[in-house]
Amino acid sequence: MSEDIKFVEKEHVVIRFSGDSGDGMQLTGTLFSNISAILGNEISTFPDYPSEIRAPQGTLGGVSGFQVHLGSSTVYTPGDEADVFVVMNPAALKVNATGIKKNGIIIFDVDSFTEKDFEKAGFTSSNPFQELNISDSIQLVPAPLSSLTKESLSGFDFDLKTISRSKNMFALGLVCFLFNRPIEQAIHFLENKFKKKADILKANIKVLVDGYNYGQNIDASISIFQVNKSHSIKPGTYTNINGNKATAWGLIAASKKSGLQLFLGSYPITPATDILHELSERKDMGVITVQAEDEIAGICTSIGASFAGNLAATSTSGPGLALKSEAIGLAVMAELPLVVVNVMRGGPSTGMPTKTEQTDLLQALYGRNGESPAVVMAASTPDNCFKYAYMASKIALENMTPVILLTDGFIGNGSSLWKLPKLAELPEIKPPYVTPEMKEKVKVTTRNENSKIRYWAIPGMEGFAHRNGGLEKDYDKGAISTDAANHQKMVNARQQKITNIAQQIPELKVEGCVDADVLVIGWGSTHGHLISAINSLKKENKKIALAHFNYINPLPKNTAEVIRSYKKVVVCELNSGQFATFLRSQVEGVHFYQYNKVEGQPFTVLELKECFKNFLKN
Amino acid sequence: MTTYTAKDFKSDQYVRWCPGCGDHAVVASLQKAMAEIGVNPEQTAVISGIGCSSRLPYYVSTYGFHTIHGRGAAIASGVKIANPELTVWQITGDGDCLAIGGNHFIHSIRRNIDLNVLLFNNQIYGLTKGQYSPTTKKGFATKSSPFGTVERPFHPGELVIGSRGTFFARALDVDIKTSVDVMTAGAQHKGTAVIEMLVNCIIFNDGAHGWLAHKDERADRMIVLKHGEPMLFGKENNKGLVLDGFNLKVVTIGENGITEKDILIHDAHSEDYTIHSKLILMKGPDFPIAMGVIRSVAEETYDDAVHHQIDEIQNKTSIKTFDELLGTLENWEM
């Protein structure tokens, strides 16, 4: 290693990879994240990819990005601004030019920075950096990634396309060098990934190692970042997991714990499809997946499976949830357990499929005909999608109700460290099955009079044959009924059942300053950004606290009490104020301030700090 | 083995169909067929959508689920895939099945899920009080087509063939014997068995199948097909079907030198659906209407395939528990 190289120790570093959607940036980013996590860093990642599978090469529409935040202390978000930006072409530069730190570094593939490439990306001059007003304080490091990759593979009998595709490995090697990551770990990952393709593996390793060695030859003024092992992490066995996979595995865990076969009826939709992919692979766990003919059939096959006694789930995103509305109402009416996972994206209509938003909350709460209460909950990090998918299943099965679990593109595709659980340590799941002594005595509507939860008889059980359905039923006899007083009684029972669930869920906890002047409220995937902003303000001795919600309907039972104990309350969400609207209907006499953004992107910690400072001032 | 009678399949519910409605006969046939099939009512699930016919689950003593408009096929599919041990009936009408539920109908058939589908075809929307349906004859005046419908109707059997269906049968509501026979055959068939019941709606479309149902002429106007038997019909059972070029033709035995040997033998098991299609499309007055099991072809069912695949993979894999599955993830100690 060259003696001129400087080591700079950093607590947190954000690195962004960006290139054409065919450049393999997602793989490069994922491998680099995993290598860092194995070395003991905390990580949070966020892929930002286009809807187009392969837009014309070099154009703005085809830019795919991957950001990872490494830390030697707790990492809550993938980071606002990048310290290091690896960029494969001018289009990628243009799309991601904002959000680079003042003293950041841009490493770019100089081979792809030609007149032709500038033109494709819509630059009018031959100096894209100047055209984008990139600050002089940012260090520009040109590296001929394409030509060096070609050279590296000159001994191999590959076509040009394959060679060009390998340049992401050159970039990975280079970045491993710059962050002082041992190359052996990267090789180990590649060996796993390309187990069955010996020649591709050999070529990738060659390029990776050449990229690493190239690092030693580049501009000596470049620093090597040293991000040390994190000590804030609980000891245990960890992996790096994205939210969609964690959701799928949470459902599997609930299936194993409850002893029920898991059934997923689903229709492909961005950004939720990975849940279908993940579960389709798990035949070893006995999971049944049906790729249905449409969103409606996705949920309806699941409702059929639930009727037949399975743990039934359906996965979708906003437009799909809209199509499923009527069927969710059927599950409410028939009082059948069902988990509906909605990975939210930009709306309305088709909106922005690959971008993230929290705009389906009111749809989840109210988007059905009739008085149709269902449980609504939200995961807040990639890894806790596991926990909340598990809890959604538990609540659905034990309370005989549909549960809508909200995640979004940000945590669905983003990843974080996950401490591997043990099935034995997860809470028991006990559905309210009919018991032998109830034989011939219970009707479809017979319920526990305290909890209002009806008993579950499953087709095939002798002595319990019944007719369920979407028509109103008589409270006692279970037969169809349009009696006025009976309908009111049934409406009340279905509502009471959901209201009672507040007793089963944890109370709301406040993070941050106990005697805060301002209480920030958030829900779902914004937790990382909100708590980062609040922790940062705490260091500046600001009196501010966070109440973050994972359970929305019903709300934790101490919600009103907590909120009323603060002078100023501001609800922050990635929509125009949906949770604030809901809270106004649930907690009377409080003025809820709002901070909202609907740009298809997560909050930044920076903007939140600015916002909170204003609320603290006034 | 327990033997059952139709009574064992009757529920205690008051039947709410109009007096004179063809549905009364169909549910009676179904109860008889269920007794004949001999499956315990509690191993049987009857799933319906919305419409007059979809009330049927309340009138049988099995497990039942009266769901939402058009979705019966999808929900019944879920029931059968989740628990293949159950005998699953789907009850639907021409509006529920072919309009709002058309997509689920063709896809459940394409997948060949082991369902017994009773399609009540009365060529009208009854429960919403008399609008034209996808099977209403062109030109027919209804409340939503006061000047006659300008739409071309579906032939359900053609849709079944087009969806690569493995079983299609037809019966007239009042013909209890054929109804019970085709229902029993449909239940014994492994795969989606579509049984089109020609049903009269006494209120909004009385006599929709009147030409066929005519008591004195019925024998001349319908042919009840039986696999392996000659396609004979008529009051004297002396009329039959022959091939004339690429088309079917009605002939009379004893006329123009025709003998019984010339009559086509019905092959319901033929994978080639050419003749089946022609039989499905026969209409009066030149042809009799085809009844009985028109097509019944053996093919693997979706539900079997799903469970076979799972069994195969579970037998092969060394990953048996969730904790073992977790162990397959790239993981490290921190």
Q: What is the ipTM of this complex?
A: 0.98
Burial A439-467 (b: 16+ CB within 10 A, else e): eeebbbbbbeeebbbbbbbbbbbeebbbb
> Quick one: fold of A6-226?
Pyruvate-ferredoxin Oxidoreductase; domain 3 (3.40.920)
Residue in B with minimal Cα distance to A314: B78
pLDDT at A56: 83
**A4: pLDDT confidence band, cut at 50, 70 and 90?**
low
What is the SS3 assignment for A220? coil
Residue A220 has a pLDDT of 61
For position A21, what pLDDT does the model report? 83
To the nearest whole angstrom, how far is the Cα of A479 from the nearest Cα of chain B? 8
Is residue A214 within 8 A of residue A173, CB to CB? The reply is yes
pLDDT (tens digit per residue) in B154-206 = 999 999 999 999 999 999 999 999 999 999 999 999 999 999 999 999 999 99
Q: What is the distance between the alpha carbons of residues A174 and A181, in angstroms, rounded to a whole number?
A: 10
Read off the pLDDT of residues B216-269 as tens digits, 9 standing for 90 and up. 999 999 999 999 999 999 999 999 999 999 999 999 999 999 999 999 999 999
In the structure encoding, which two tokens stand for residue A133, read together? 């007003």
Please provide the average confidence, as pLDDT, over all residues in chain B: 97
The residue of B10, B65, B307 whose CB has the most chain A CBs within 10 angstroms, and thus the best one to mutate to test that interface, is: B65
Helix (H) or strand (E) holding B208: none
Please state the domain extents for chain A.
6-226, 239-425, 432-504, 510-617
Count CA atoms within 13 Å of residue A534 on its CB side. 27
CB proximity A300 to B under 8 Å:
yes
Please determine, for residue A330, whether its predicted confidence score (pLDDT) is greater than 80. yes
User: Do strands A544-549 and A510-512 pair parallel, antiparallel, or not at all (unpaired)?
Assistant: antiparallel
> In chain B, which residues have their Cβ closer than 8 Å to the Cβ of A261?
82
CB A506 within 8 A of CB A556: yes
Using the Cβ of B332 and the Cβ atoms of chain A, whether some distance falls under 8 Å is answered with yes
Looking at domain A510-617, its CATH architecture is 3-Layer(aba) Sandwich (3.40)
Interface test with A, best of B75, B100, B326 (most A CBs within 10 A): B75
Please say whether the beta carbons of A569 and A517 come within 8 A: no
CA distance A381 to A390: 14
Nearest to B78 among A235, A303, A422 (CB): A303
Residue of B nearest to A310 (CA): B82
By the CB < 8 Å criterion, does B328 face chain A?
A: no
Name residues 207-236 of chain A within 8 A of B (Cβ). 230, 233, 235-236
From the list B85, B104, B322, the residue facing A293 with the nearest CB is B104
The residue that leads in pLDDT, A23 or A263, is A263
Which chain A residue shows the shortest CA-CA distance from B61? A465
Out of A235, A256, A465, name the one closest to residue B322 (CB). A256
Is A420 part of the contact surface with chain B (CB cutoff 8 Å)? yes
Please report how many Cα atoms fall inside a 13 Å half-sphere around the Cα of residue A114, on the Cβ side: 6
- Judge contact between B198 and B170, C-beta under 8 A: yes
The DSSP result for A3-35, as a single string, is: TTPEEEE-SEEEEEEEEETTS-HHHHHHHHHHH
Taking the Cβ of residue A110 and every Cβ of chain B, the question of whether any pair is shorter than 8 Å is answered with no
What residues of A are in contact with residue B71 (Cβ under 8 Å)? 296-297, 300, 327
Query: Nearest CB to A40: which of B81, B325, B334?
Result: B334
**Per-residue pLDDT at A578 exceeds 50:** yes
Which fold would CATH assign to domain A239-425? Rossmann fold (3.40.50)
Question: Scanning every residue of chain B, which has its alpha carbon at the shortest distance from the alpha carbon of A477?
Answer: B13
In tens, the pLDDT along A497-510 reads: 999 999 999 999 99
B72: closest CA of chain A, how far (Å): 8
Q: ∠B55-B58-B62 over CA atoms, to 5°?
A: 130
Dump pLDDT digits (tens) for A206-232: 999 999 999 887 756 677 888 999 988
Angle between helix A273-280 and A243-258 (nearest 10): 50
What pLDDT, on a 0 to 100 scale, did the predictor assign at position A96? 86
**Phi, psi angles (nearest 5°) of residue A157:** -95, 65
Question: Are the beta carbons of A21 and A54 closer than 8 angstroms?
Answer: yes
pLDDT at residue A192, as a whole number: 87
Residue A1 pLDDT grade (very low, low, confident, very high; cuts 50, 70, 90) = very low
Fold of B6-213: Rossmann fold (3.40.50)
Suggest the residue from A193, A285, A294, A444 to mutate for an interface test with chain B (most B CBs closer than 10 A). A285
Q: How confident is the model at residue A2 (pLDDT cuts 50, 70, 90)?
A: very low
Query: Do residues A286 and A246 lie in contact, with contact meaning Cβ atoms separated by under 8 Å?
Result: no
A 232-251: CB under 8 A from B = 233, 235-241, 249
Please give the interface size between A and B, counted as residue pairs whose CB atoms are below 8 Å apart. Answer: 194
Asked if pLDDT for residue A467 goes beyond 50, the answer is yes
CA distance A544 to A521: 11
**Lowest pLDDT segment from A9-13, A381-385, B130-134:** A9-13
A117, A89 in Cβ contact below 8 A?
yes
Record: contact B81-A471, CB cut-off 8 A: no
CA nearest to B317 within chain A: A284
Q: Is the Cβ of A584 closer than 8 Å to some Cβ of chain B?
A: no
Distance CA B155, CA B94 (A): 10
Residues in B touching A263 (Cβ below 8 Å) = 78, 81-82
Burial class (CB in 10 A: 0-12, 13-18, 19+), B259: exposed
Q: Which of A40, A422, A470 sits opposite B67 (nearest CB)?
A: A470
Question: Given this model, what pLDDT does residue B307 score?
Answer: 98
pTM of the model: 0.96
C-alpha to C-alpha distance for A485 and A478, rounded to whole angstroms: 15
Which chain A residue has the Cα nearest residue B12? A479
Contact across the interface for B333 and A290, Cβ inside 8 Å: no
What's the rounded Cα separation, in Å, for the pair B105 and B74? 8
Of the candidates A237, A296, A334, the beta carbon closest to that of B331 is on A237
Tell me the two tokens of residue A402. 């549909």
**How do residues A74-110 score in pLDDT, each as one tens digit?**
999 999 999 999 999 999 999 988 889 988 999 999 9
